[in-house]
Amino acid sequence: MTDKTTGCPAHDPGKAYDPSKEGAQMDFKARMSYGDYLGIDAILSAQHPLSTAHDEMLFIIQHQTSELWMKLALYELSAARQAIAGDHTAEASKMLARVARIFEQLNSAWDVLRTMTPSEYTAFRDDLGQSSGFQSWQYRLIEYAVGNRNKAMLRPHEHRPDLMERLTAELARPSLYDEALRRLARLGLPVPPEVLTRDVSEPWTVNEGVTEAWAQVYRDPSAHWEAYELAEKLVDFEDYFRRWRFNHVTTVERVIGFKRGTGGTAGISYLRRMLEVELFPELWRVRTIL
């Protein structure tokens, strides 16, 4: 029988649908469940607002979900770098495509945070103390992994030897860009030798010879398809990363204007300076000389 007013079988009290009759498992006393596998209790018990402000829950969950996506981005970036080092560039391209999509996801998430007005944020900003995204070690690890290596950014982590260890270990490894250029050299492209033997813990500096090597790739893609595809994946990733930085600075201006940051920087002027960071500068310069 169906509900007389709506005609819908779901609203007939005598006919409530029971999925167990069609085999749905209902007993998890001795079986691994959804929550067991995914550690849902741990995730859902990690929100501890410090104020009674309504929007603090949004703020916390926005950051926590961002950190989860960053965890996956780091996982994929490390695997992509390893694949390039092992001459498995096609696999690396696939992983880099995923990282770009992860950043697209992070970019869309700003639309949720943007619903928070300055009045709403002010209600709990003081409770944040001196904490800030500036202290996100996963964000710093992403920057270090791809090649933006500034040792000054280690200092907020000095109180955590375990994190210092991870960050300094990352600085000792060739970055994603270093590995891409080493692969380029192995493919026979004229990457200058000083690039291949550089101290990888130091920041990258623009190299004209590298721009010329990329130019050879872009002038004849079919002859250098592997390098060409890798180059475009790197550009795509940086494109999405730049959009993340832009979304961040715009949201910050919208919410706190030109106030100093809780992390102690000047706020907007610091974040605007970060907009100038180029991860793979030669890949952008090559466009001008083609």
Ligand X SMILES: N[C@@H](CC(=O)c1ccccc1NC=O)C(=O)O
Binding residues (CB under 6 A) for ligand HEM: these are: 62-63, 66, 113, 121, 132-134, 136, 139, 248, 251-252, 255-256, 261-265, 267, 270-271, 274
Give phi and psi for 36, each to the nearest 5. Answer: -65, -50
Q: Is 138 annotated as a binding residue?
A: no
CB of residue 248 to ligand X, shortest distance in Å: 8
Q: Which residue is nearest to ligand X (CB)?
A: 133
CB of residue 138 to ligand X, shortest distance in Å: 12
Q: Out of ligand X, ligand HEM, none, which partner does residue 66 contact, by CB within 5 to 8 A per kind?
A: ligand HEM
CB of residue 253 to ligand HEM, shortest distance in Å: 9
Q: Out of ligand X, ligand HEM, none, which partner does residue 131 contact, by CB within 5 to 8 A per kind?
A: ligand X
Helix ranges (H only) for the chain are 34-38, 40-44, 56-85, 89-113, 118-125, 137-146, 161-172, 176-186, 193-196, 208-219, 225-256, 268-274, 281-289
Q: Tokens 């270093």 belong to which residue?
A: 178
* 17: Cβ contacts below 8 Å, ≥ 6 apart: 9, 10
Q: Quick check: helix, strand or coil at residue 136? A: coil
Q: Out of ligand X, ligand HEM, none, which partner does residue 128 contact, by CB within 5 to 8 A per kind?
A: ligand X
Q: Is 157 annotated as a binding residue?
A: no
Q: Name which of 78 and 251 has its Cβ closer to ligand X.
A: 251
How many Cα neighbours within 13 Å face the side chain of 213? 24
Binding residues for ligand X, rule: CB under 6 A, are: 63, 125, 128, 131-133, 256, 261-263
Q: Out of ligand HEM, ligand X, none, which partner does residue 93 contact, by CB within 5 to 8 A per kind?
A: none
Q: Is 121 annotated as a binding residue?
A: yes
What is the Cα–Cα distance from 212 to 9, expressed in whole angstroms? 69
Q: Is 75 annotated as a binding residue?
A: no
Q: Is 125 annotated as a binding residue?
A: yes
If one counts every other C-beta atom within 10 angstroms of the C-beta of residue 191, the result is 22
Q: Name which of 2 and 131 has its Cβ closer to ligand X.
A: 131
What is the Cα–Cα distance from 92 to 234, expressed in whole angstroms? 10
CA angle 180, 182, 188 (to 5 degrees): 110
Q: Is residue 95 within 8 Å of 76, Cβ to Cβ?
A: yes
Q: Name which of 129 and 161 has its Cβ closer to ligand X.
A: 129
Q: Is 197 annotated as a binding residue?
A: no
The binding site for heme comprises 248
